[in-house]
Structure 1
C-alpha cells in the first residue's frame, strides 16, 4: 500500500490546527465548520482504520490532504459517531476525497443521522448522498431540518476498490442552538503520556504529567484548551478537545520549532476528580507563570480572550488577569512587556493595530488592579510571529495569544 509514501508531504499540513451559521464568518473571517475540532466536535466512535496518519480522527481536522483509510478489506458500512459541541441544526455538509491514495477508494454512498437523545439512541436520518471519486469540496444541503447533539456518519461503500475505502475531510455548517460552558477539566487523567494532573481556574489551566517532568500552562477559548507543554529537554504547544461530560479528551501536540510539521496525538480518560500532583509542579497558574518567566524569560498565555475583532476583554479572562496581577504584586521588581499576537486573517496593518490594542487592554486592566504603569509595556506584533500555520481554525487559534516577557532589571519601560 502506498499510503505512507503518497502522504508524507501531507503530514506537514496536519492541523495547520466559534460557532455560527452557513453564511456567518468566524472571529478569523473564515467559514467555520461545526464538525471540526476547532468548534469542539469530538469523535466518540470511529471505524476500523489503516492507522497512523490514516486515522478516523482526521476527518475533523479541516485538512483535505490527510484523512481516513479503512482497515484492509473493510470497505463497507464504516461508521462514525461525532459529539457536537452544541445542539446543532445542520444545513449544509461538505466532503473531500481528492487526496485518496488509489483509484476507486473514495467514499461513495454516505448516510447522515442525528440524535438529541444520546450517543446510542434516538437517531433520525437527515440526509443521504452519493459522492464523486477523488473530488474535493462536494457540498450538499441537508434534507431534513432535525437538530441534535450526536451525528452518525455511515460510509456504505466506495467506488469499486477491493482493498480500502477512504475519506479525507468532512465539514458541516448550520446553526448552534445552545451555548454551554466548557466542561470542568480539573482532575487526573490516564493518558498515553502516563497520568496527567490538571487544574482549571476560570479560563486559566495549569498542570503536570508523569513523564519526563512534564508541565503545562494554558487556557480555554470556546471549546478548546490551548497550552504550552514542557519536559526536561523539549517543549511545544498543544490543543485538547474534551467530550461533553469532560471524561475524555483528544489532543494534538507539536514540538517547538516544528509547529508547522505533523503533530502527535495525545488522548486521555478521566480517572478521578482529584487533581493530584507531581513533585516537579508548583500547582497553580500564578506559580507556573512565575516559574516560566524566571526560567525562560517568557510565558505564552492562553485564556485571555477578547470579543470578536475587538480589544474588549471577555469576563471569562478575569481569573487569568488577576493571577498576572498577583504575580506582579508578589514580586515588586518584576517588569513586563505584554505582547499581543493575532492570526493572519485581515490585513497586516489591521492585525498589528488590533494586537497592540489587545495588549494595551491587558495593561490597562493590570494598572486598574494596582500595578504601577511604569512596570508594564504593551506591544503588538499582529500576525508576524505565528506559532502555528494559519491554514485551519485550530492553527489560527494557537496564534491568537498574549505573551509576557520579563524585562531585565534597570530596563526603562515606556508605554
Structure 2
C-alpha cells in the first residue's frame, strides 16, 4: 500500500509538471523593454508589451520562440530562449531586414496568470454592413473576430470566413478578404476610433474598378477562449 502511494504521488507530480509546462511562455514578464504579456495557443504565441505594440511568434525548438514585434508602426524580429526552470528568458531583437544589428532582450517571469492583451483590441463581436445598393442579397451580417498578433481571423453568422492582416500601426488593414455565399471579396479599411475600435470603415471589391464601401460596428467584447475560425 505504501509503495502504491509513493508511485501514485510521483505520477501526480510528474503529470502536474507536464501540465505546467504545456504553455511555458504564457504569462506576464518583466523585460528589458517593459512589461511583456504573452498568451500561448499550441505552438503559437501572441501578446503585447509596454503598450508599444504586439508580439506574434511561433515555437522553434524545445525552449525557443521566434517571431515579429511592432513598435510605433515599425516591425522588428526577435528570438527568445527560455531557461530550464521556465522563469526567465534571454534573447535578441533586430529591425526587419537588419539582422546584423542585434540588441539584447531579456525577461523574468512575474505571473503565470493568463494576461489581458491591451493591444489586441480588434477581438470582439461586430456587425458588418454594406450601406449602398448592392447586387448581393446579404447586406448586414454579424461577425466574430479574434486578433492574434497582426492577424485577424473571424467568421460571420452564416459560418463564412473573414481574414485580414493589420498594418504595423495596428489601426488599419494591410489586406484581407471575406465571403458572401461562395463569392470572395478583397478588402481594406481603418478604424475611426483606434483606441476603442467602436467603428471602422473601408472598401471591398472583386475587381479593381468596382470598389464599394463598408461599415463595421463593434457590438461588444467576446469571450473567444474556444473560438476557432473557419477557412475556405
> TM-score normalised to the size of structure 1?
0.28
Higher-Rg member (1/2): 1
Structure with more of its chain in helix, by fraction: 1
Structure with more of its chain in strand, by fraction: 2
